[in-house]
C-alpha cells in the first residue's frame, strides 16, 4: 500500500494517490515494455471515449491526469484462480442446462464469506468441504431436469462411440468454457463405456454430465494462458481467447459465455481490442448485465445488513417485506446509474429517482404512482432531501442499529467504500476504555461519539464520524426528520453539521445535501468507485502494483463524464484483463 | 456380492454386556466366556472429540463452581465434593462428576479492532491472523488437528461434522484462511449422513442403492483423473486449491463405500422436521450422539451461537417475565449493555439491570442445553458396553471471558474421560494462564508424547509451559 499524502496518527491509507499527483509512487522499477501496437491499445487514458452527454462540470470532479510516474509502468498485476460463487454457480447451471432458474440448486449451499471486497474475491475462494457435498447433491438434482439424450446427434437407439465423443466435446466446451483436452475427453468416454448394460444411455450420459459439473474445470476458473499468442511484457502471457471470454462474461454477466462469445473465442477474433469493445457494448444491453450490476450494488452497499432486526417498539411498521423492498430499491437505483443514466456518476451521487412500493412510500412521504412499475417497484422523483444513493432508505437503514442511526457505520462506509481509505484498527486498549458519561437527554450523536474525543480515539474518529453526522437526519429505517427522540424520551434537534477532512474536497457542511455535493466533486471518490469495479471485475483486492492500472481506469471514467459504459470498456480492454502472470503464483 | 458400505453387525447381533447378563431367562453366564466373546467381537472404541462453541462471554462469578462453606479459597485444585454448581451452571449439577472445570485461562492475543474478528481468527487456531479482517486465520483450528490424530495422517482433512448456523461467521478453519462451513439443517443432515442407517439400526443393502453407489464411485474417479491432469498444469496456491478440492472429493467417494463400525446404540435419529438450525432444540444433540454411535464421524463441532430474540420461545425469566423478542437488538441492548456502567452509551441503572437479567436467563438456559448434550452422549452404549462419554472429550469454549468482549478469564469446561486421559469431577483454577495451553492439552489427549508435533499447536510465545498439567 502507498501511504496517502496525509499521514495523521490515524494512519489513513489510500490507493490512487496518483490521480491527485500527490505522493511518491510505490511501483517504480518495474519491467516496462512500451506497447508497440496501435494507439488506444491497453485502454489507458480514456482514448476513444466521447461522452454521449456533455459533461456537467458541477457534478463531475475536475479532470486529473495520471502522473508522469505511470509512464512505462506495468499495468498487469496478479491473477489468482477463483471458483464460481454461489450466484455464478446457479446462473451457470441455469444457462448450461436450459433451466429457468438455478437459484434453487444453491439454496442449501454455505453462504459466501463476509471478507473484504466482493464475494468473488479469489483470495478467500477455496471450496469448503461442506460445499463440495452440497455440490454433489446439487449436480444430481440439476441433471434430473436435463435430458442429455436430446443433445445427441444420433438416435438414442443407435448410439455410436463417435456420437458420444461429439457430445462430450460439445457439452464439455460449454461446461469447461473451453474445448476439453484430448485427455479429458478420453477420461469421460472411458466413464461412459465403463458403465455396464444395467445402465441406460440416459443414465450413462447423466453420469458424464455430473462428472463434468463436479470437475475442478467447471468449478474453478483455472487459467494457463496461451503462450502461442504475442506477449507484451516479460513474465506475462496472454490469456487464451476462451479464458478472455470467461473473464468477460463473469465480470459483466455473472454467468458463462453465450454462443456469440464462444464463437468469437473460437475464431480468436475476441483477442482484438475493437472486438472486445463491441462485445462489451453488446453485453451492456443484455438483461444478464442488470442482474450482475445489482449483485455488485448489493455487496458494495452491504445490503445484507437489512436482514438484521429493527426494534419493533420503535418501528412497528418494519418487517421483512419492507426490508426486501428497500434492498431492491438500493440496487435498482445503482443499476439505473450504471446502465441507464448516461451521466451515471452524477446520477449515482446526486440523482433523485426513487423506486418505491406501497410499503416503502411512507418512509419517503411520497405517494405510489399508478402504472410505470417495474419488478414491483414504481419509479418516482423523491424530494430534495434525497440526493444520490446514500440517502436511499435501504442504505441508511442498513448502516444503522436496531433503534438509532449509526453515524460511525455510515461514516466508515464513506471512508472505506466511497473513498477507498483503509483506517487501520483501533489502537490496543481503545475498545476497553470507558467513554466519558453522557447526561440524560443526550442525543444519539452525543452518545455515539462521546468516546471520539478521547485522545486514543480522536485521530480516526474525527475522520470517520463527520460524514456520518451529515446523515443523522435519517433515522434507523431511513425516514427524514430534523428531530429525534432521545433514549430518555425527550425530543431533540439533530445536528447534521461537520467538517470533512483528509479528502480532495475538504470543508464544512451543514447537512447531507452539502456533503453529497462535495463528494460528487471528489476525484478520490470517483476513483474509488472505479476501484470497486476493478475489484469486482478482477475478483480480487488491488495491490500496490495496480496503482497505475487503476489510475488509468479512473481517468477514463472521469474523461467520459462519469459514464459507466466507458469504465467497463476500459476495464475489459486493460492489460491486466488480457494478460496474466506466466507462472501461476 | 460384497456388502461394502454396510455395517457388518445388525441390530441384535451386537449385544451389550448388560443384556447378555440379563438374557437367557435369568441364567447368568460365566464371565470368562463373556470377556472372550467381547475380546473377539469388539475392537476398543475409538476416541472422539466434540467442540462446543458459545458466544458472548459469561458472568464468571455466577458461573464458576461455588466453594462449599468453609472451603479453602486459595487452592488451585478442588474435588467435586468441595463445591456446588453456581446459579448460571445449576443445570450441569447431574454431570458434576463428568465435568472438569477450568478458570483463570486468558486469551493472550492483543485486542484491537473488532473483538469478534480477533477471536474468530485466533481463539481456536492459536495463530495470529494473516491479515486484517475476518477469516484471515493463520492455520487450522484445534478440531481439525485432533481429527488428523484420531484418523491418522492418511486423511488430512478428515470427516468432521460441523453443526451450526449457515452464516458468514466462522471460528473453525481447515487451513490458513480457509473457514469451514457448517451443516445447519437437521432434516437434510439425517437424510444424507444416515443414508445407510435405518431407524432400527444399520440397514441391509438394497441392489438399487448398490448400483447407485457404483455409479457415483466411477463418476468421482473420473473427476479425480481429469482433475489431476488440470492440477499438473497449475502452480502455487492455484494448484493447492485444486488439490484440496480433489482430496475432499476422494473422501466423499470413500465415504460412499467406507465400512461403518456401529455401536449397539446406532440408529437413525428422529428429528422433529426442523429445517432451521437451532441449538436449543434437542435435534442437534440427538444427531451428534447418533453420528458418533454409528461411527459416521469421530469429531464434531457444534456452534451454539449467541443469545437472540428466539430465546423467548423456549424460556421465561425467573421473574416470569418474557424475554425480549425478535425485535430486539440482543447484541447491543442485552450483551453490551449488561456490562455497561450508567452513562456509558446511554446505559442507565434501570436498563443495565434489565439487560443483566436477560443475559443471565439466556446464559443459564444454554448451560442447560450443554447439559442435555452431555446426557445424550453419556447414554450411548459403545459396542463393549461402556458409555460413549468414557471415550469422548466435550470441550466447551466461549467466545469471550468475564467482561464484555473481554479476553480474560474464560469459562472453560470439559466433559468426559477421553479414554482415560482426563480425570473429570474437579475444578482447576489458574491465574492468567494462556488458553493455548489448554488447546495443547486437548491435542495431547489424542496423541502420544512421542509425536513430534506434541507441543507445536499455535503461537510458540503463548505455549510456554506446554500442555496443562494435572488434567488426567
Complex prediction ipTM: 0.87
pLDDT above 70: percentage of residues in chain B: 82
Q: How many CB atoms lie within 10 A of CB B219?
A: 23
Region B415-434: mean pLDDT is 96
What pLDDT is attached to residue A450? 82
Which DSSP letter does residue B201 get?
A: E
In angstroms, the CA B48 to CA B391 distance is 6
Q: From residue B135, how far is each of A84, B55, B401 by CA, in Å?
A: 19, 17, 21
Spatial contact of B78 and B427, defined as CB atoms under 8 Å apart: yes
How far away is chain A from the Cα of B345, in angstroms, using its nearest Cα? 5
Burial string for A222-231 (b: 16+ CB within 10 Å, else e) reads bbbbbeebee
Q: Could you tell me which chain A residue has the CA closest to the CA of B340?
A: A434
Nine-digit cell string for A54: 456533455
Nearest to A136 among B225, B252, B309 (CB): B252
Nearest to A187 among B113, B226, B248 (CB): B226
What length does chain A have?
585
**Beta strands B299-305 and B160-163, pairing class:** parallel
Which DSSP letter does residue B405 get?
A: T
Q: Which residues contact A585 (CB under 8 A, 6 or more apart)?
A: A78, A80, B235, B236, B237, B238
Helix, strand counts (H, E) of chain B: 12, 14
Q: Which residues contact B423 (CB under 8 A, 6 or more apart)?
A: B100, B417, B471, B472
How far away is chain B from the Cα of A584, in angstroms, using its nearest Cα? 5
What pLDDT is attached to residue B19? 29
Q: Which residues of B touch A113 (CB under 8 A)?
A: 134-135, 168, 170, 179
- B162 inside 8 A of chain A by CB: yes
Asked if B188 and A210 come within 8 Å (Cβ–Cβ), the reply is: no
Nearest to B332 among A194, A401, A442 (CB): A401
Query: Dmax over Cα atoms in chain B, in whole Å?
Result: 75
Nine-digit cell string for A10: 490515524
pLDDT top residue among A51 and B195: B195
Region B59-87: mean pLDDT is 95
Looking at every residue in chain B, the average pLDDT score rounds to 81
List of E strands, B213-309: 299-305
Spatial contact of B297 and B160, defined as CB atoms under 8 Å apart: yes
The H or E element spanning position B250 is helix B236-255
Asked if B162 and A431 come within 8 Å (Cβ–Cβ), the reply is: no
Category of A17 on φ-ψ map: left (φ > 0), alpha (ψ -120 to 50) or beta: alpha
Nearest to B230 among A188, A217, A422 (CB): A217
Q: From residue A389, how far is each of A351, B288, B409 by CA, in Å?
A: 8, 47, 45
- B275 inside 8 A of chain A by CB: no
Q: Which residues contact A554 (CB under 8 A, 6 or more apart)?
A: A16, A19, A64, A523, A526, A527, A530, A531
Nearest to B223 among A116, A215, A487 (CB): A215
In angstroms, the CA A149 to CA A206 distance is 9
Nearest to A434 among B113, B309, B341 (CB): B341
Nearest to B249 among A132, A190, A439 (CB): A132
Q: From residue A443, how far is each of A393, A449, A483, A496, B186 by CA, in Å?
A: 21, 10, 10, 12, 45
How far away is chain A from the Cα of B49, in angstroms, using its nearest Cα? 19
What pLDDT is attached to residue A457? 83
Residue B159's nearest CA partner among B298, B287, B51 is B298
Region B285-307: mean pLDDT is 88
Q: Which of B116, B141, B213, B219 to mutate to test the interface with A (most CBs of A within 10 A)?
A: B219
**Angle between helix B142-151 and helix B436-445 axes, rounded to 10 deg:** 10
Q: What are the DSSP calls for A324-370, one per residue?
A: HHHHHHHHHHHHIIIII-TTHHHHHHH--EEEE-TTTHHHHT-PPPS
Nearest to A309 among B183, B221, B327 (CB): B327
What pLDDT is attached to residue A428? 65
In angstroms, the CA B256 to CA A137 distance is 13
Q: Could you tell me which chain B residue has the CA closest to the CA of A447?
A: B345
For the ranges A235-249, A307-321, B153-167, B270-284, which has the lowest average pLDDT?
A: B153-167
pLDDT above 90: percentage of residues in chain B: 41
Touching A: B residues 292-351, CB under 8 Å: 309, 325-329, 332-333, 341-346, 348
In angstroms, the CA A209 to CA A220 distance is 17
For the ranges A459-468, A543-552, B180-189, B346-355, which has the lowest average pLDDT?
A: B180-189
How far away is chain A from the Cα of B115, in angstroms, using its nearest Cα? 8
Strand partners, B160: B299
Residue B424's nearest CA partner among B385, B455, B395 is B395
In angstroms, the CA A205 to CA B219 distance is 11
Q: Which residues contact A176 (CB under 8 A, 6 or more apart)?
A: A184, A212, A215, A217, A218
Asked if A128 and B180 come within 8 Å (Cβ–Cβ), the reply is: yes
For cell 486529473, name the residue: A64
What pLDDT is attached to residue A2? 32
Residue B45's nearest CA partner among B371, B294, B370, B396 is B294
Asked if A585 and B238 come within 8 Å (Cβ–Cβ), the reply is: yes
Name the band, by pLDDT with cuts 50, 70 and 90, for residue B199: low
Q: Which of B238, B275, B330, B355 to mutate to test the interface with A (most CBs of A within 10 A)?
A: B238
- B33 inside 8 A of chain A by CB: no
Asked if A128 and B328 come within 8 Å (Cβ–Cβ), the reply is: no
What pLDDT is attached to residue A53? 57
Q: Could you tell me which chain A residue has the CA closest to the CA of B407?
A: A432
What pLDDT is attached to residue A4? 33
Q: Could you tell me which chain A residue has the CA closest to the CA of B248?
A: A129
* Size of the A and B interface in Cβ pairs below 8 Å: 206
Spatial contact of A269 and A278, defined as CB atoms under 8 Å apart: no
How far away is chain B from the Cα of A92, in angstroms, using its nearest Cα? 19
Asked if B234 and A199 come within 8 Å (Cβ–Cβ), the reply is: no
Nine-digit cell string for A116: 473484504
Give me Rg for the CA atoms of chain B.
23
Asked if A130 and B181 come within 8 Å (Cβ–Cβ), the reply is: yes
How far away is chain B from the Cα of A522, in angstroms, using its nearest Cα? 27
Spatial contact of A544 and A370, defined as CB atoms under 8 Å apart: no
In angstroms, the CA A73 to CA A508 distance is 38
Residue B258 in this model has a pLDDT that exceeds 60:
no
Residue A148's nearest CA partner among A86, A216, A205 is A205
In angstroms, the CA A476 to CA A403 distance is 6
Q: Which residues of chain A have pLDDT under 50?
A: 1-8, 14-48
Burial string for B388-412 (b: 16+ CB within 10 Å, else e) reads bbbbbbbbbbbbbbbebbbbebbbb
How far away is chain B from the Cα of A4, in angstroms, using its nearest Cα? 19
For the ranges A504-518, B108-122, B382-396, which has the lowest average pLDDT?
A: B108-122
Nine-digit cell string for A65: 491526469
In angstroms, the CA B50 to CA A26 distance is 49
Q: How many CB atoms lie within 10 A of CB B153?
A: 8
How far away is chain A from the Cα of B320, in angstroms, using its nearest Cα? 21
How far away is chain B from the Cα of A196, in angstroms, using its nearest Cα? 10
Amino acid at each position: 500500500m502507498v501511504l496517502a499524502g496525509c499521514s495523521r496518527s490515524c494512519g489513513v491509507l489510500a490507493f490512487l494517490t496518483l490521480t491527485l499527483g500527490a505522493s511518491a509512487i510505490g511501483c517504480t522499477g518495474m519491467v516496462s515494455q512500451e506497447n508497440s501496437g496501435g494507439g488506444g491499445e491497453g485502454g489507458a487514458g480514456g482514448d476513444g471515449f466521447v461522452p454521449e452527454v456533455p459533461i456537467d462540470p458541477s457534478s463531475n470532479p475536475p479532470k486529473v491526469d495520471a502522473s508522469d510516474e505511470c509512464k512505462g509502468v506495468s499495468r498487469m498485476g496478479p491473477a489468482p484462480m477463483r471458483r464460481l460463487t454461489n450466484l455464478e454457480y446457479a446462473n451457470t447451471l441455469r444457462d448450461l442446462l436450459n433451466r429457468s432458474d438455478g437459484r434453487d440448486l444453491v439454496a442449501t449451499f454455505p453462504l459466501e464469506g463476509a471478507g473484504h471486497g466482493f464475494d468473488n474475491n479469489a483470495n478467500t475462494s477455496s471450496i469448503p468441504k461442506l460445499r463440495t457435498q452440497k455440490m454433489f447433491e446439487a449436480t444430481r438434482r440439476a441433471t434430473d431436469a436435463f435430458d442429455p439424450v436430446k443433445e445427441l446427434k444420433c438416435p438414442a437407439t443407435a448410439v455410436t462411440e463417435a456420437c458420444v465423443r461429439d457430445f462430450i466435446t460439445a457439452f464439455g466446451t460449454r461446461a469447461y468454457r473451453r474445448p476439453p483436452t484430448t485427455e479429458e475427453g478420453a477420461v469421460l468416454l472411458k466413464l461412459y463405456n465403463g458403465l455396464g448394460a444395467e445402465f441406460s444411455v440416459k443414465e450413462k450420459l447423466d453420469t458424464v454430465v455430473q462428472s463434468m459439473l463436479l470437475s475442478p474445470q467447471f468449478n474453478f476458473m483455472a487459467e494457463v494462458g496461451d503462450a502461442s499468442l504475442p506477449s507484451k511484457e516479460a513474465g506475462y502471457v496472454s490469456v487464451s481467447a476462451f479464458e478472455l471470454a470467461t473473464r468477460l462474461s463473469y465480470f459483466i454477466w455473472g454467468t458463462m459465455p453465450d454462443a456469440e462469445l464462444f464463437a468469437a473465442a473460437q475464431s480468436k477474433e475476441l483477442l482484438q481490442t475493437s472486438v472486445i469493445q463491441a462485445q462489451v457494448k453488446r453485453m451492456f444491453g443484455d438483461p444478464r448485465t442488470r442482474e450482475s450490476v445489482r449483485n455488485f450494488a448489493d455487496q458494495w452497499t452491504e445490503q445484507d445488513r437489512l436482514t438484521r432486526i429493527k426494534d419493533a417498539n420503535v418501528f412497528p411498521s418494519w418487517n421483512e417485506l419492507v426490508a426486501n423492498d428497500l434492498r431492491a430499491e438500493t440496487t435498482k437505483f445503482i443499476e439505473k446509474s450504471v446502465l441507464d443514466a448516461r451521466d451515471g456518476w452524477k446520477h449515482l451521487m446526486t440523482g433523485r429517482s426513487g423506486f418505491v412500493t406501497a410499503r416503502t412510500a411512507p418512509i419517503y412521504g411520497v405517494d405510489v404512482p399508478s402504472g410505470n412499475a417495474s419488478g414491483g417497484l414504481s419509479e418516482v422523483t423523491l424530494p430534495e432531501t434525497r440526493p444520490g444513493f446514500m440517502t436511499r432508505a435501504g442504505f441508511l437503514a442498513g448502516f444503522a442499529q436496531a433503534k438509532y442511526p449509526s453515524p460511525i457505520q455510515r461514516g466508515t462506509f464513506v471512508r472505506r467504500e466511497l473513498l477507498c481509505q483503509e483506517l487501520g484498527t483501533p489502537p490496543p486498549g481503545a475498545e476497553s476504555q470507558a467513554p466519558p458519561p453522557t447526561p440524560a437527554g443526550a442525543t444519539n450523536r452525543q452518545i455515539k461519539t462521546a468516546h471520539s474525543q478521547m485522545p486514543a480515539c480522536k485521530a480516526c474518529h474525527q475522520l470517520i464520524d463527520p460524514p456520518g453526522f451529515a446523515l443523522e437526519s435519517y433515522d434507523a429505517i431511513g425516514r427524514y426528520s430534523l428531530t429525534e427522540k432521545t433514549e430518555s424520551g425527550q425530543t431533540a434537534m439533530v445536528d447534521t453539521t461537520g467538517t470533512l477532512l483528509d479528502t480532495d474536497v475538504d470543508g464544512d457542511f451543514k447537512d447531507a445535501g452539502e456533503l453529497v455535493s462535495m463528494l460528487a466533486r471528489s476525484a478520490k471518490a470517483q476513483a474509488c468507485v472505479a476501484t470497486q469495479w476493478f475489484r469486482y471485475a478482477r475478483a480480487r483486492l488491488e495491490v500496490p502494483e495496480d496503482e497505475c492500472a487503476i489510475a488509468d481506469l479512473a481517468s477514463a471514467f472521469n474523461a467520459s463524464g462519469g459514464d459507466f459504459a466507458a469504465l467497463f470498456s476500459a476495464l475489459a480492454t486493460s492489460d491486466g484483463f488480457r494478460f496474466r502472470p506466466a507462472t501461476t503464483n | 456380492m460384497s456388502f461394502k458400505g454396510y455395517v457388518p453387525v445388525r441390530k441384535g447381533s451386537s449385544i451389550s454386556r448388560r443384556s447378555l447378563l440379563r438374557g437367557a431367562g435369568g441364567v447368568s453366564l460365566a464371565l470368562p466366556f463373556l470377556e472372550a466373546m467381547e475380546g473377539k467381537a469388539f475392537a476398543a472404541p475409538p476416541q472422539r472429540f466434540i467442540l462446543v462453541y458459545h458466544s458472548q462471554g459469561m458472568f464468571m462469578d455466577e458461573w464458576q463452581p461455588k466453594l462449599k462453606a468453609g472451603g479453602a479459597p486459595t487452592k488451585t485444585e478442588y474435588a467435586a465434593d468441595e463445591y456446588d454448581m453456581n446459579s448460571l451452571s445449576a443445570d450441569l449439577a447431574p454431570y458434576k462428576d463428568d465435568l472438569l472445570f477450568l478458570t483463570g485461562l486468558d486469551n493472550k492475543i492483543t485486542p484491537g479492532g473488532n473483538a469478534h474478528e480477533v477471536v474468530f481468527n485466533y481463539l481456536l487456531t492459536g495463530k495470529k491472523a494473516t491479515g486484517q479482517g475476518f477469516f484471515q486465520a493463520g492455520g487450522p483450528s484445534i478440531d481439525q488437528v485432533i481429527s488428523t490424530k484420531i484418523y491418522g495422517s492418511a486423511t488430512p482433512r478428515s470427516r468432521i461434522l460441523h453443526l451450526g448456523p449457515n452464516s458468514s461467521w466462522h471460528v473453525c478453519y481447515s487451513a490458513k484462511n480457509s473457514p469451514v462451513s457448517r451443516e445447519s439443517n437437521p432434516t437434510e443432515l439425517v437424510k444424507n449422513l444416515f443414508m445407510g442407517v435405518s431407524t432400527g439400526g444399520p440397514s441391509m443393502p438394497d441392489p438399487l442403492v448398490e448400483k447407485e453407489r457404483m455409479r457415483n464411485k466411477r463418476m468421482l474417479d473420473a473427476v479425480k483423473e481429469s482433475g489431476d491432469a488440470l492440477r499438473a498444469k497449475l502452480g502455487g496456491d492455484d494448484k493447492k486449491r485444486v488439490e484440496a478440492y480433489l482430496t475432499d472429493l476422494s473422501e466423499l467417494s470413500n465415504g460412499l463405500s467406507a465400512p461403518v463400525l456401529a455401536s449397539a446404540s446406532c440408529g437413525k435419529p428422529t428429528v422433529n422436521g426442523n429445517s432451521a438450525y437451532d441449538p436449543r432444540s434437542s435435534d442437534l444433540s440427538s444427531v451428534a450422539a447418533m453420528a458418533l454411535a454409528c461411527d459416521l464421524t469421530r469429531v464434531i463441532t457444534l456452534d451454539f451461537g449467541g443469545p437472540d430474540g428466539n430465546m423467548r420461545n423456549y424460556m421465561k425469566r425467573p421473574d416470569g417475565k418474557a424475554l425480549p423478542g425478535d425485535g430486539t437488538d440482543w447484541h447491543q441492548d442485552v450483551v453490551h449493555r449488561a456490562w455497561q456502567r450508567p452513562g456509558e452509551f446511554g446505559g442507565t441503572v434501570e436498563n443495565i439491570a434489565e439487560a443483566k437479567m436477560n443475559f443471565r436467563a439466556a446464559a443459564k438456559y444454554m448451560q442447560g442445553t450443554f447439559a442435555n448434550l452431555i446426557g445424550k452422549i453419556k447414554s450411548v452404549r459403545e459396542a463393549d458396553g461402556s458409555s460413549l462419554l468414557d471415550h469422548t472429550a466435550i470441550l466447551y469454549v466461549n467466545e469471550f471471558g468475564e467482561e464484555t468482549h473481554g479476553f480474560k478469564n474464560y469459562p472453560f469446561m470439559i466433559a468426559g474421560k477421553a479414554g482415560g486421559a482426563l480425570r473429570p469431577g474437579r475444578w482447576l483454577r489458574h491465574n492468567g494462564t494462556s488458553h493455548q495451553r489448554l488447546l495443547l492439552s486437548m491435542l495431547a489427549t489424542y496423541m502420544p508424547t512421542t509425536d513430534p508435533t506434541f507441543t507445536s499447536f499455535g503461537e510458540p510465545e503463548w505455549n510456554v509451559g506446554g500442555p496443562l498439567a494435572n488434567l488426567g
